[in-house]
Structure 1
């Protein structure tokens, strides 16, 4: 049987510095790969997510993009869209500055950012869904999941809140001192996921400390294979939308730093705004290319 070859590139997202930010693998032409092969390749790459670019169902769109983490497919995610948009803008100069990706969660718009010479340097993406608040969880349950005490959590603005703009996270404000010493406890994680979500493999906790519009954050999702994530665009977009929902402003912007404790500092710009169908959010940042290769199957 003839060997099938699939090119891929890797890059670091939400950074200007190679080996910072959140790494991503992009298979730039995934036609011919089946679901099991995509999942196996994502597990082999061992990044928080890997994307697979396919022809769009609607030719008016740029591509159909499938996103896999180590163990399952994702309906939407932030840094894979930013990174894939950056890669395709470089590969397809005629694609323009606004790309449209068909994904499980809906249509995602990617706005390409360029330098003075017109070369892509990053992207901003609009989350595919308005803010959905899916409920709250007790501090007494969430705090032990991340090795903290309930007193380390800050509830003056909101309780630990499960929210989504395409994929859901539990958003938890903590003190600045507690942020740096948080550590997941896998057994407690699994128990809380079963008791409160009815799903033993899906509990992603995004914790943050805030000073005005500057945010320091971390994200843990050990049940799905990501012990800690250097930069989580979809969670940051959900946080921006949630914070806007708590006040009367029509728009808000936030500067987020994530991944510091991992040695992969990431910088994300978040914007949230009110629309007729709810609160929408976007997240953006720069990208740096790292590797190029091919998979032979």
Structure 2
């Protein structure tokens, strides 16, 4: 797999990464054996950027990734996140971007990942009670200490990104970006990243699985799958959004690729590093094949016609979740 520079601070990663969250939480039943095999297969295919967070589990996903990399740590670019306060026994207390918590959380993440450094350390969500300068300042000290190599923030506004970047250069901003979610094209974030030389890491590049074409009914989800509460998968929103997927599928069929591959190729065409999440090798192999899909100007025009900004209906999180965005 080809590699590309992520941002302008010197970090190089695979064109496509792997989101590990669903291997431990949120998307129904998990299988550690298959998850470990999926991580190992990803690395065989040239995937280097592996994404996790202390809140995924909590802690379970970092621990899983640590086990997967026990004999191959140097081949991976490990990205994890802090900023959601969690007690040592796993209770989630809410946002916390205070310097003392960031330092303590990083030490805990290093233990769970069984490593002496994190390659890319994100502020998972911006704490409105703590100036971004203080949070990024604490993260910068960890770079000085050699425990972190590069910094990023997640789901931050253009103004916040600019303020954080003045304290320490940001390598990446991680945000939801896909044919289902194109808000950063219109709120100043994408323009800011391009101006400042900050890389874009796109999570949920398949619209939380919707763009795979495999979901045809809300009943396709397990009872404990959090997407049952996602507004985009409910009521009339589901039916309208499924119609968008049908059009994406039509274009994919004409190009002889899967809907997932078309959707991922589009994200990569925008210059982003996509981190589709999967916990199965067969989906991983389908996803990574998207790095070989070249889109013509005619393809881009066709996609733009069926999935422009605003084509999808429903918020991307519950009301509580929406309050944590654009910090």
User: Given the two structures, how large is their TM-score scaled by the length of structure 2?
Assistant: 0.26
Bigger share in strand: 1
Bigger share in helix: 2
